[in-house]
Structure 1
Amino acid sequence: MEEHMRFAWAMIFCIAIAPVYADYYSNTVTPSSKVEKVTHLRFFLHDILGGENPGAVVIARANLTKKDDSVLPFGSLVAIDDPLRVGPEPTSKIIGNAQGLYLSSSQDPSKFTIVLYADFAFTSGKFNGSSFSVFSRNPVTEADREVAIVGGRGKFRMARGFAKIKTSYFNATTGDAILEYKVTLYHY
């Protein structure tokens, strides 16, 4: 019994003298004097599922028991590397790309909705090397819709904001779409 008591006191002593490293996590930093900026962007995302060099590829599809003939039935997961262009024409200048995933999240095919996670990166112009991230629900069948911007890097560091999306072109047979993005970013 005495041996157990010595061991218990030794453990209490070791715990009591253990150094505290909480200072690292409690360090308060005064924000810099940088002024928050607002940037407005307009571009077109070309989401092409077919052809020789698609920008979007279905990587998983749910095993549904009911018949659903849509291009992207409920539960379909799509990986994207879509070009961002200055216009809706397939030959317009590429200014960046959107890389990420979207999931077909509506069980009602008449209300096609996706959940989008993508990084919109710019590869030319004054925002070259900068990007912003979207993680939001996107009700595709609505004429005008809005998605949330949840972060950024480069010139868009700590970005937040929203993007208004309007479908410029959609092919229900192939799933190909050209989407106009009007983006409002708040960043430092």
Structure 2
Amino acid sequence: MKSGIITIFTLCFSVAVMARKEEELYYSKTQPANLKEEKVTRVGFYLHDILSGKNSSAVRIAHDNLTRDANSPVGFGSLFVMDDPLTLGPEIHSKEIGNGRGMYVSASKEMSKFTIVMYADLTFTTGKFNGSSISIFSRNPVAEEAGEREIAIVGGRGKFRMARGFVKIKTHHIDMKTGDAILRYDATVYHY
């Protein structure tokens, strides 16, 4: 009888200890972050979004058959995946400093108001920010070609961990027949 009680006690104790361990995995005690002073960094580069040719950097992976316009490379409802080079200058052979990987969807019915909603991780592969990235997730009103448009920075990695801020985008060149575009990105990044 004593061994049965000891066994039951041991099992209850083990279950309580395991439950406590699982709880510790779920969350830890909240503590002050003790972050260093926030910094602001400005970075500028060009993004090359190339839809045409054999070596394209963005491809359409889905589209809506009902809204697809055969004459439009970026018809309403089209979803694209991108692996776009980031360069110092607007020429494709300018020094490459990283890549923009992510996706975007064409979110406007009228080409005159062409807008995409995009998510991208802009990773730097050289220089001071090598291995770091900024993440963007925002509406991008591409048709506002004449002026700058602004998209949100929602995070980052490496030296840009916990980033927030914005990117001003200006179209350097766009070919509305192919969808190819060269865009100037000027990012203002707040980070720790």
TM-score, length of structure 2 as denominator length: 0.84
Question: 1:25 Cα shift?
Answer: 3.2
5+ residue gaps, structure 1: 1-13
**Residue by residue, what CA displacement relative to the aligned partner does 1:137-186 show, whole Å, maximum 9, x if unpaired?**
00001131000000000000000000000000000110000000010000
Query: Distance between the aligned counterparts of 2:58 and 2:36, measured in 1?
Result: 38
What's 2:85 paired with?
A: 83
Query: Distance between the aligned counterparts of 1:44 and 1:155, measured in 2?
Result: 20
Q: Secondary structure at the match of 1:116?
A: strand
Q: Tell me the amino acid that sits aligned with residue 152 of structure 1.
A: G
Query: Distance between the aligned counterparts of 1:127 and 1:95, measured in 2?
Result: 9
What's 2:171 paired with?
A: 167
Question: 1:51 Cα shift?
Answer: 1.4
Question: 1:69 Cα shift?
Answer: 2.6
What's 1:37 paired with?
A: 39
Query: Distance between the aligned counterparts of 1:35 and 1:81, measured in 2?
Result: 33
Kindly tell me: are residues 27 and 127 of structure 1, through their superposed partners in 2, closer, same or farther at Cα, counting changes over 3 Å? Answer: same
Question: 1:37 Cα shift?
Answer: 0.8
Query: Distance between the aligned counterparts of 1:77 and 1:131, measured in 2?
Result: 23
The alignment status of 1:149 with 2:153, answered yes or no, reads: yes
Q: Secondary structure at the match of 2:60?
A: strand
Q: Secondary structure at the match of 2:55?
A: coil
Q: Which moved more, 1:21-30 or 1:85-94?
A: 21-30
Query: Distance between the aligned counterparts of 2:138 and 2:115, measured in 1?
Result: 11
Question: 1:22 Cα shift?
Answer: 5.7
5+ residue gaps, structure 2: 1-11
Kindly tell me: are residues 67 and 28 of structure 1, through their superposed partners in 2, closer, same or farther at Cα, counting changes over 3 Å? Answer: closer
**Residue by residue, what CA displacement relative to the aligned partner does 1:32-57 show, whole Å, maximum 9, x if unpaired?**
24111100011000000111211001
Q: Which runs of 4+ in 1 moved over 6 A?
A: none
What's 1:97 paired with?
A: 99
% identity of equivalent residues: 61
Count of matched residue pairs: 173
Q: Secondary structure at the match of 2:47?
A: strand
What's 1:127 paired with?
A: 129
Asked if the contact 2:81–2:104 (Cα under 8 Å) also holds between the matched residues in 1, the reply is yes
The alignment status of 1:111 with 2:138, answered yes or no, reads: no
**Residue by residue, what CA displacement relative to the aligned partner does 1:56-114 show, whole Å, maximum 9, x if unpaired?**
01111111157563211110000000000001011100000000000001112210000
Query: Distance between the aligned counterparts of 1:99 and 1:184, measured in 2?
Result: 19
Query: Distance between the aligned counterparts of 1:67 and 1:88, measured in 2?
Result: 30
